[in-house]
Chain A
């Protein structure tokens, strides 16, 4: 395949993604008058940010050719941990939480590279460990059902802009947007980004170039863990509660956003702009169906069907090789 046709294919693929997004928005706008109301757009972007912050972290791992399904567990654990120790040690709790997340992430990377166990399985183990620990802490502290009230103590991290009449939860969007831009730049403009793509395409060839593949892999898992921790922390002011159940439903959805955007699970391709669109499609489907006043029971079924349609639409024009 020559460079031009591959570039053209890439462009076609990106435009199909965006086209699908537009079709989705138009369809929902016709289906419900409330969909394009400013308050609803704010609500879509808030929910989108919850998903995107995590999905961007996992994108690094997927691009490097591995998988990480422990994100939701780590985010949940860190949230509860910070909620518990915040009243005791103040803002230091945030540093502790992020270190714990980065620690679990790096541990994933170390077990994966040193013990040579497939990353899906390592992180499945970590998911059990962190979820178990999260719930155990919640049960021991008697906060399993109601969570720990944060009482605005972390509001500084989700500042509201006075003139903009939007709820505080919207401020999560600034973080997600900043993270998207930062990661996109790193992936496109730095040696680190280039090497992650290289490792994802072929770890063994990259190794032959004398690049410390193991080091980069551990780093990527550490990064994913740290991002999960930051997400777990930001969900506290977002919900104004440390909830021991909030992240449970996110386990596979974060990965779905990455895959839906067109980043292959085989690694080496894709990128952060893809993840942004994947997460946006999922959030819009979710919101649009609810706003249309769809019966709560039918919601799941329609949601699943639209995810299939979205996946089929965005898979067109890609030469995927083996679709696993």
Chain B
């Protein structure tokens, strides 16, 4: 990880974010006793899983200074594919999500690199395409049921009666990708591409390989989230689901700039936790849905204010 900002500053930023997180938890627990009950804690985790997985994936793309708008559509499309195969494959169907997701992610990367077009446009187009394919797949059925018990158990059986299994998978993957970003050569190269593309390329590194991989990771994790969603809900529909913006918010509010080269999946974990606690807290307190969106926006700005590392993000664009 790049320590341009200095260790002390980094720590202060993380502490301010943790402070915000703990502050919200205290506030919501005082406001309603249901928040820290078993049901409340389960609700937080169920909200957390998809946002976390999508945010960690998006983080890799952001680190490399690109943007992936298609993760919301990949989430929907992979959940549809998973539900489609659940009746034949049983529990193995859960692998359909990550497998197809990685392919879609790779396709994003290829459109971006081989087409030599901005990733913003490339993934806007694939966002539309994947959403369209999902609708074609479910045509005439509206909802694909996947109610097989053994399949659903992968997501919704419980560990120690408060932790849904899908949370376990999400955490294992998150920890793995935090390790990849911070402790491996692969991670360092991805940071380096975001910080200075030309310098990385001229140092003899095959940047294309790494950029394609970043997009594939993003698609892969969106696919994991999609597969788990199909198992959790016992099926899937092709209706657009507003998860792109919350996921982008989670990826960025804890300090990963969209100008690349800094931050990381550990920050996405913190960001996703904040948003999951916020969403669940507002739900438990029965705040009107749209006021929730409004409060969500204000908290996003406050969190970003607290965590933007202004020394790493030398370009405030």
* Contact present for B290 and A301 (CB under 8 Å): no
Q: Given the complex of chains A and B, what is the CA–CA distance between A256 and B67 in angstroms?
A: 13
Q: What is the distance, in angstroms, from A126's C-beta to the closest C-beta of chain B?
A: 7
* Contact present for B293 and A131 (CB under 8 Å): yes
Residues from chain A with a CB closer than 8 A to the CB of B126 are: 304, 308
Residues 127-157 of B contacting A (Cβ, < 8 Å):
127-129, 131-133, 135-136, 139
* Contact present for A121 and B118 (CB under 8 Å): no
* Contact present for A118 and B258 (CB under 8 Å): yes
Partner of A307, one of B125, B136, B253, B289: B125
Q: How large is the interface on B (under 10, 10 to 19, 20 to 34, 35 or more residues)?
A: 35 or more
Q: What is the distance, in angstroms, from A160's C-beta to the closest C-beta of chain B?
A: 34
User: Smallest CB-CB separation from A139: which chain B residue?
Assistant: B290
B308 proximal to A (CB < 8 A): yes
Residues from chain A with a CB closer than 8 A to the CB of B245 are: 124, 127-128
Q: Given the complex of chains A and B, what is the CA–CA distance between A118 and B198 in angstroms?
A: 23
B229 proximal to A (CB < 8 A): no
Q: What is the distance, in angstroms, from B75's C-beta to the closest C-beta of chain A?
A: 16
Q: Given the complex of chains A and B, what is the CA–CA distance between A112 and B124 in angstroms?
A: 25
**A311-B115, A315-B117, A324-B67 known; A127 and B198 CB under 8 Å?**
no
* Contact present for B120 and A255 (CB under 8 Å): yes
Which one, A24-32, A161-169, A292-300, is touching chain B? A292-300
Residues 284-317 of B contacting A (Cβ, < 8 Å):
288-298, 300-301, 304-305, 308, 310, 313, 316-317
User: Smallest CB-CB separation from A121: which chain B residue?
Assistant: B304
* Contact present for A116 and B308 (CB under 8 Å): yes
Residues from chain B with a CB closer than 8 A to the CB of A267 are: 317
* Contact present for A117 and B297 (CB under 8 Å): no
Residues from chain B with a CB closer than 8 A to the CB of A299 are: 132
A129 proximal to B (CB < 8 A): yes
* Contact present for B248 and A300 (CB under 8 Å): no
B252 proximal to A (CB < 8 A): yes
Partner of A132, one of B291, B308, B310: B291
A122 proximal to B (CB < 8 A): yes
Would you give 29 A-B contacts (Cβ < 8 Å), ordered by A? Answer: A111-B305, A112-B316, A118-B257, A118-B259, A118-B316, A121-B258, A124-B252, A125-B298, A125-B301, A128-B294, A129-B293, A132-B296, A133-B294, A134-B290, A136-B291, A136-B294, A138-B290, A255-B120, A259-B121, A260-B121, A265-B120, A300-B129, A301-B133, A304-B132, A308-B122, A311-B121, A322-B198, A323-B119, A324-B65
Query: Which B residues contact A (CB, under 8 angstroms)?
Result: 65-67, 69, 111-112, 115-122, 124-129, 131-133, 135-136, 139, 197-198, 245, 248-249, 252-253, 257-260, 288-298, 300-301, 304-305, 308, 310, 313, 316-317
Question: Besides the contacts A117-B308, A118-B308, what 13 more A-B pairs have beta carbons closer than 8 Å?
Answer: A118-B257, A118-B304, A128-B293, A128-B296, A132-B292, A139-B288, A300-B132, A300-B133, A304-B127, A307-B124, A311-B118, A323-B116, A324-B67
